[in-house]
Structure 1
Amino acid sequence: MASKPKPPQMALHKVIMVGSGGVGKSALTLQFMYDEFVEDYEPTKADSYRKKVVLDGEEVQIDILDTAGQEDYAAIRDNYFRSGEGFLCVFSITEQESFAATADFREQILRVKNDENIPFLLVGNKCDLFDKRQVTIETATAKAGEWNVPYVETSAKTRQNVDKVFFDLMCEIRDRKKEETAKPDGKKNKKTKKEGKRKKKCVIL
Structure 2
Amino acid sequence: MREYKLVVLGSGGVGKSALTVQFVQGIFVEKYDPTIEDSYRKEQFTAMRDLYMKNGQGFALVYSITAQSTFNDLQDLREQILRVKDTDDVPMILVGNKCDLEDERVVGKEQGQNLARQWNNCAFLESSAKSKINVNEIFYDLVRQINRKTPVPGKARKKSSCQLL
Q: Assess same fold via TM > 0.5.
A: yes
Q: Deviations over 1:64-94 (max 9, x none)?
A: xxx6446432211111110100000000000
Q: Secondary structure at the match of 2:5?
A: strand
- Following superposition, the deviation at residue 42 of structure 1 comes to 1.7
Structure 1 segments (4+ residues) deviating >2 Å: 67-73
Percentage identity across paired residues of the two chains: 46
Q: Secondary structure at the match of 2:99?
A: coil
1-side partners of 2:91 and 2:118: how far apart?
15
- Following superposition, the deviation at residue 180 of structure 1 comes to 9.5
Matched, 1:136 2:127: no
Structure 2, gaps ≥5 residues long: 155-165
User: Which residue number corresponds to residue 44 of structure 1?
Assistant: 35
Structure 1, gaps ≥5 residues long: 1-9, 46-66, 182-205
Given candidates 132, 138, 161, the residue that maps to 1:159 is 132
User: Which residue number corresponds to residue 98 of structure 1?
Assistant: 70
TM-score (norm 2): 0.86
User: Which residue number corresponds to residue 49 of structure 1?
Assistant: none
Given candidates 90, 99, 122, the residue that maps to 1:118 is 90
Decide whether the 8 Å contact of 1:124 with 1:153 is kept in 2.
Answer: yes
2-side partners of 1:68 and 1:16: how far apart?
15
1-side partners of 2:149 and 2:87: how far apart?
12
Q: Deviations over 1:7-44 (max 9, x none)?
A: xxx11111000000000000000000111001223243
- More strand by percentage: 1
Decide whether the 8 Å contact of 1:27 with 1:156 is kept in 2.
Answer: yes
Decide whether the 8 Å contact of 2:13 with 2:34 is kept in 1.
Answer: no
User: Which residue number corresponds to residue 162 of structure 2?
Assistant: none
Q: Secondary structure at the match of 2:3?
A: strand
Q: What is the RMSD computed on CA atoms of the aligned residues?
A: 1.9
TM-score (norm 1): 0.70
2-side partners of 1:44 and 1:32: how far apart?
17
User: Which residue number corresponds to residue 17 of structure 1?
Assistant: 8
User: Which residue number corresponds to residue 191 of structure 1?
Assistant: none
2-side partners of 1:106 and 1:180: how far apart?
28
Q: Deviations over 1:85-110 (max 9, x none)?
A: 00000000000000000111101101
- Following superposition, the deviation at residue 179 of structure 1 comes to 8.9
2-side partners of 1:161 and 1:141: how far apart?
15
Q: Secondary structure at the match of 1:178?
A: coil
